[in-house]
Amino acid sequence: MIASLPPGLLLIVAALAIPVLPDALRRAWTVVVPAAGLWALIALEPGTYLGFAWFGAEFVPVRVDKLSLIFGYVFHIAAIVGAIYALHVRDTVQHVAGMMYAGSGIGAVFAGDLVTLFVYWEAMAITSVFLIWARGGETAYRSGMRYLIVQIVSGVLLLSGAILLAEQTGSIAFDRMALGDLATWLILLAFGIKCAFPFLHNWLPDAYPEATVTGAVFLSAFTTKAAVYALARGFPGTEMLIYVGAAMTAFPIFYAVIENDLRRTLAYSLNSQLGFMVVGVGIGTPMALNGAVGHAFVSTLYMALLFMSMGAVLYRAGTIEGSELGGLHKSMPFTTVFCIVGAASISAFPLFSGFIAKSLTLSAAAYGGYAVAWLTLTFASAGVIHHSGMKIPYFAFFSRDSGKRCKEAPLNMLIAMGTAAFLCIALGVWSPALYSILPHDVDYEPYTPSHVIGQLQLLAFAALAFAVLIRYRIYPAAIRSTNLDFDWTYRRGIPALIGVVWPALWSAWQGFLSALAGGLRAGIGAAIRLAGPEATLARTWPLGSTTLWVAVLLGGFLLIYYL
């Protein structure tokens, strides 16, 4: 029965039963269902399933190959870990939204046609926004609305591109596309929005930090990684993506460094990590695509781990502001250790998962002769070490004694974090476990002396720089603030411009209406004077005069007619 359902649909259907289940069964259900889905996925053979024709179009709801399978595996793992992390939550809305969101993400990576992809694409948007709104408050509501608008726009662009592509080619198949016409540009833009391309990225640091403690964990796993999958499926080897991705790796670093909200710091870090994947897709060689996909796999795990550790801090300490934290290693030692594992993984420390995936992309850029991209990725790697590898654990747990004394995270949170931490270490130690499921054959050894020594040097110099900046108080201080980047345009700039322009426009409109009213009054007055009760036209005219004027008018009409 389970194996006959399309991947992802099991979670969506099962989520509908959550509200009617008893509390204990409900929580177990959220873990068992994705685990059953993972078991069914492992047994699924490559191929296409449930295909049908409708209105002359070929629909392929399920396409199974190595590219979709690796994303399916990690999405199921993320759903299981996220569900365990959320076992203490009593909010049914979060459980339903989380499971349906995970199911929609899983369904998207197995979609074999653009219409099916669109359905899951929009389902991800609609279900995930409840994980933001569930936090409550005006800030979460407004952030969720901005997030939803952007995600819906992405879906509209995807559908528009699919319709144009079907008009041009007669097919809605979701395969590799050549960028060049309006249809493919619209589809790329749709993917770029969800992948947080530069100037299209603000929904990410805006929305994720405003989600609930558990909601942010789910959000970190699915939307952006589904977009990476879509790029790898639809636009591999598109050179423009190399430079887009390189920009993505670099610019979030500066915002992450000055950000006080540690979950927002992680959101910027996630944006930077996505840049590495986009560069790999743009290069398009087997090694680069393996690097992009492998990076997406391990990033899903260590970003979830970091969001879980910061969520645990928020849950117990009541704040996630770096200026108000510090010294929590005394109260939350296990959470501290798990956070350090996540930090080591995202920093690509040898024997941690980030090292075996990120080095593939860096090597592909070097072998391909993309010197600028390689230098940018190396710079971004050092930046990631600063803001996520060191800033996050330092300001949360070690910077000073904030005086906060709280309990360790609940047991279910610790189990979830421990599971993710184990996977981060296991994959880093035994790279064949990841390399064997990548879409292309892997002939690469990450643990060569040059790779290890080079990465250790980068880590050492980044750590030294961080220590010097902290020691001499050069590092940006942790202060309460709201930092805007490109979203300044629509959150501050456009409203300010409207505030200046609107009064002038309103005054001009009022003047136009006043002039129009004056003109109408003058016209009505003239008409009354001409045809009113006492006007000339209202008088009684003699019959002879009337006959004369009628004859004159008829003569005039006849003259006009014959001429």
pLDDT tens string for the chain (563 positions)? 355 578 889 999 999 999 999 888 888 899 999 999 999 999 888 988 888 888 778 889 999 999 999 999 999 999 999 999 999 998 999 999 999 999 999 999 999 999 999 999 999 999 999 999 999 899 999 999 999 999 999 999 999 999 999 999 989 999 999 888 999 999 999 999 999 999 888 899 999 999 999 999 999 999 999 999 999 999 999 999 999 999 999 988 888 888 889 999 999 999 999 999 999 999 999 999 999 999 999 999 999 999 999 999 999 999 998 888 888 998 999 999 999 999 999 999 999 999 999 999 999 999 998 999 999 999 888 888 877 888 899 888 988 777 788 899 999 999 999 999 999 999 999 999 999 999 999 988 999 998 899 888 888 888 888 888 777 776 666 556 666 666 666 666 677 777 778 788 888 888 888 888 888 888 777 766 665 566 655 566 565 666 776 777 788 777 777 76
Angle at CA 416, nearest 5°, toward 222 and 111? 25
Q: Are residues 263 and 146 in the same domain?
A: no
Spatial separation of the C-alpha atoms in residues 441 and 291, rounded to whole Å: 12
What lies within 8 Å, CB to CB, of 329 at 6+ separation is 336, 397, 398
Q: Let me know if residue 86 belongs to a domain.
A: yes
Cβ neighbours around 49 below 10 Å, total: 16
Domain that holds residue 529: 492-562
Q: Are residues 180 and 303 in the same domain?
A: no
Tell the residue number behind the tokens 């074999």, with chain if given.
112
* Helical ranges in 110-181 per DSSP H: 114-133, 138-169
Tell the residue number behind the tokens 């710079």, with chain if given.
379
Q: Are residues 57 and 112 in the same domain?
A: yes
Spatial separation of the C-alpha atoms in residues 243 and 251, rounded to whole Å: 12
Residue 56 confidence (pLDDT): 74
* Interhelix angle 262-283/371-384, nearest 10 degrees: 160
Domain limit, last residue, from 198, 219, 235: 235
Q: Are residues 477 and 526 in the same domain?
A: no
Spatial separation of the C-alpha atoms in residues 151 and 276, rounded to whole Å: 22
Residue 71 confidence (pLDDT): 97
Spatial separation of the C-alpha atoms in residues 323 and 396, rounded to whole Å: 9
Q: Are residues 23 and 52 in the same domain?
A: yes
Spatial separation of the C-alpha atoms in residues 414 and 523, rounded to whole Å: 81
Whether 469 contacts 320, CB under 8 Å: no
CA 245 distance to own-chain centroid: 15
Tokens of 327: 């010294």
Q: Are residues 518 and 469 in the same domain?
A: no
Spatial separation of the C-alpha atoms in residues 343 and 337, rounded to whole Å: 10
User: Residue type for 267, please?
Assistant: A
Task: State the Rg of the chain over Cα.
Answer: 31
Q: Are residues 373 and 275 in the same domain?
A: yes
* Interhelix angle 182-194/114-133, nearest 10 degrees: 30
Q: Let me know if residue 486 belongs to a domain.
A: no
**Residue 98's closest CA among 80, 71, 72, 120?**
80
Q: Let me know if residue 535 belongs to a domain.
A: yes
Q: Let me know if residue 131 belongs to a domain.
A: yes
Domain limit, last residue, from 449, 481, 513: 481
Q: Let me know if residue 272 belongs to a domain.
A: yes
Give DSSP secondary structure letters for 243-311.
HHHHHHHHHHHHHHHH--BHHHHHHHHHHHHHHHHHHHHHH-SHHHHHHHHHHHHHHHHHHHHHHHHHH
Half-sphere exposure in the Cβ direction for 171 (13 Å, CA):
9
**Residue 421's closest CA among 352, 358, 357?**
352
Q: How many domains does the chain have?
A: 3
Q: Let me know if residue 487 belongs to a domain.
A: no
User: Residue type for 412, please?
Assistant: N
Q: Are residues 259 and 372 in the same domain?
A: yes
What lies within 8 Å, CB to CB, of 241 at 6+ separation is 231, 235, 278, 279, 281, 282
Spatial separation of the C-alpha atoms in residues 305 and 312, rounded to whole Å: 10
SS3 368: coil
Neighbouring-strand partners of residue 62: 49
Tokens of 373: 């991209």
Tell the residue number behind the tokens 């070690």, with chain if given.
398
Residue 391 confidence (pLDDT): 87
Whether 103 contacts 10, CB under 8 Å: yes
> Residue 327: left (phi > 0), alpha (psi -120 to 50), or beta?
left
Q: Are residues 321 and 432 in the same domain?
A: yes
Domain limit, last residue, from 235, 266, 293: 235
Q: Are residues 48 and 156 in the same domain?
A: yes
Spatial separation of the C-alpha atoms in residues 206 and 475, rounded to whole Å: 24
| Residue 480 backbone dihedrals phi, psi, to 5 degrees | -70, 125
Beta-sheet pairing, 52-54 with 47-49: unpaired
Q: Are residues 211 and 346 in the same domain?
A: no
Q: Are residues 49 and 61 in the same domain?
A: yes
